[in-house]
């Protein structure tokens, strides 16, 4: 395949993101901000060009077999340990199937299309504008900053909250059926875990649940730290492949040793050092 520039990976007609003064870019940014304020989620349809989508999909498909699957295939909403001091029906102590896998960030080299797009400054600047942040940084976690979520037939990702506040995803290949992204906007806040609200969703309450019809080539913004979310079981024959790019408002943040080991099967000295002196903005359980 011809080598594409990061700009060519994106549909420039619809999303001229490197043109800082373009009215079209400003309009897109405004739309994203409106959607994020509404429910913590925004989608840019057809963000990737045809060639760009093909290039990123090829790189993900080549690495699909490298996906790490944690043999402990159940998780709670915090993707953490149970707490015996809490009641058995507390969300912390309720475990559900988490059977999808992840291809780690360090499986892509710096010259890959995926990594070059992730590291492209105009993309970061555009996302920063969309998220209305004073600063944004590439997430410095060497294992998890740019990954592919692999969801084969029968696999699912349980209801959970993310560690990082913002997640940027690009769907590369959808499931033929199932594999749907569902979320409950702003279910918790920095001051309140809202255990009762979380319990209701785990018990099957669909009142606040929204479902997203993502298509290959779409870019999704999601504020996953406060919105509970999951991906329903893949009930088709095609593997769902989702590219996930993480950014942080603060430089130097990485995931916790426990979470990174659980999701990716590998931690580095950076994780061990950060866990000894965590950089955190709130006191949520993770």
Q: Name the segment binding Fe ion (CB under 5 A); options: 64-72, 134-142, 182-190, 223-231.
A: 223-231
**Which residues between 149 and 178 bind Fe ion (CB under 5 A)?**
162
**For residues 162 and 193, which CB has a smaller minimum distance to Fe ion in the complex?**
162
Rounded least distance, CB 30 to Fe ion, Å: 26
| Cβ-Cβ contacts under 8 Å for 29 (sequence gap 6 or more) | 126, 129, 130
The minimum distance between CB 143 and Fe ion, in angstroms, equals 16
Phi, psi of 92 (to 5 degrees): -60, -30
Reading phi first (left if > 0) and then psi (alpha if -120 to 50, else beta), residue 99 is in alpha
**Least distance from C-beta 160 to Fe ion, angstroms?**
6
Shortest separation between residue 66's beta carbon and Fe ion, angstroms: 20
Q: Which of 145, 160, 137 is nearest to 110 (CA)?
A: 145
Q: Which of residues 21-80 bind Fe ion (CB under 5 A)?
A: none
Q: Residues 112-151 vs Fe ion: string with x where CB under 5 A?
A: ----------------------------------------
Span 236-275, contacts to Fe ion by CB under 5 A? none
Residue whose Cβ sits closest to Fe ion: 162
Site stretch for Fe ion (CB under 5 A), options 61-69, 139-147, 216-224, 255-263: 216-224
- Our finding on whether 224 is near Fe ion (CB under 5 A) is yes
Minimum gap (Å) between residue 41 Cβ and Fe ion? 12
> Apex CA 86: angle with CA 82 and CA 88, to 5°?
75
CA–CA separation, 80 and 95 (whole Å): 10
CA distance 105 to 70: 16
Which lies closer to Fe ion via its Cβ, residue 124 or residue 259?
259
Choice between 55 and 75, CB closer to Fe ion? 75
Single out the segment in contact with Fe ion by CB under 5 A; choices: 59-67, 125-133, 220-228, 271-279.
Answer: 220-228
CB of 29 to Fe ion, least distance (A): 24
At a CB cut-off of 8 Å and minimum separation 6, what does 216 contact? Answer: 53, 57, 171, 172, 173, 174
Whole-angstrom distance, CA of residue 260 vs CA of residue 277? 16
Integer Cα distance of 206 and 187 in angstroms: 13
Of 155 and 162, nearer to Fe ion (C-beta) is: 162
Q: Which residues contact 23 (CB under 8 A, 6 or more apart)?
A: none
Residue 5 beta carbon to Fe ion: minimum distance, rounded to whole angstroms: 30
What gap in Å lies between CA 252 and CA 214, rounded to an integer? Answer: 31
| CB nearer to Fe ion: pick between 49 and 158 | 158
Residues that bind Fe ion (CB under 5 A): 162, 224
């Amino acid at each position: 395949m011809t080598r594409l520039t990061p700009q060519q990976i994106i549909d420039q007609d619809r999303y001229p993101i490197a043109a800082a003064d373009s009215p079209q870019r400003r309009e897109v940014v405004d739309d994203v901000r409106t959607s994020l304020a509404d429910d913590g989620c925004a989608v840019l349809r057809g963000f990737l060009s045809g060639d760009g989508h093909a290039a990123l999909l090829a790189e993900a498909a080549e690495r699909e077999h490298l996906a790490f699957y944690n043999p402990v295939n159940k998780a709670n909403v915090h993707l953490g340990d149970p707490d015996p001091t809490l009641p058995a029906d507390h969300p912390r102590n309720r475990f559900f199937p988490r059977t999808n896998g992840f291809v780690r960030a360090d499986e892509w080299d710096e010259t890959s299309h995926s990594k070059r797009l992730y590291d492209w400054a105009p993309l970061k600047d555009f996302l920063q504008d969309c998220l209305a942040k004073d600063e944004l940084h590439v997430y410095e976690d060497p294992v998890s900053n740019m990954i592919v979520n692999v969801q084969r037939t029968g696999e699912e990702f349980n209801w959970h909250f993310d560690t990082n506040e913002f997640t940027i995803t690009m769907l590369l290949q959808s499931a033929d059926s199932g594999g749907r992204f569902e979320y409950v906007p702003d279910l918790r806040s920095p001051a309140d875990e809202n255990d009762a609200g979380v319990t209701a969703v785990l018990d099957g309450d669909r009142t606040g649940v929204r479902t997203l019809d993502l298509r290959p080539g779409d870019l999704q913004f999601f504020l996953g730290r406060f919105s509970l979310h999951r991906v329903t079981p893949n009930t088709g024959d095609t593997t769902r492949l989702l590219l996930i790019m993480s950014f942080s408002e603060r430089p130097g943040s990485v995931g916790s040793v426990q979470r990174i080991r659980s999701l990716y099967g590998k931690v580095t000295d950076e994780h061990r050092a950060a866990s000894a002196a965590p950089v955190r903005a709130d006191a949520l359980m993770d």
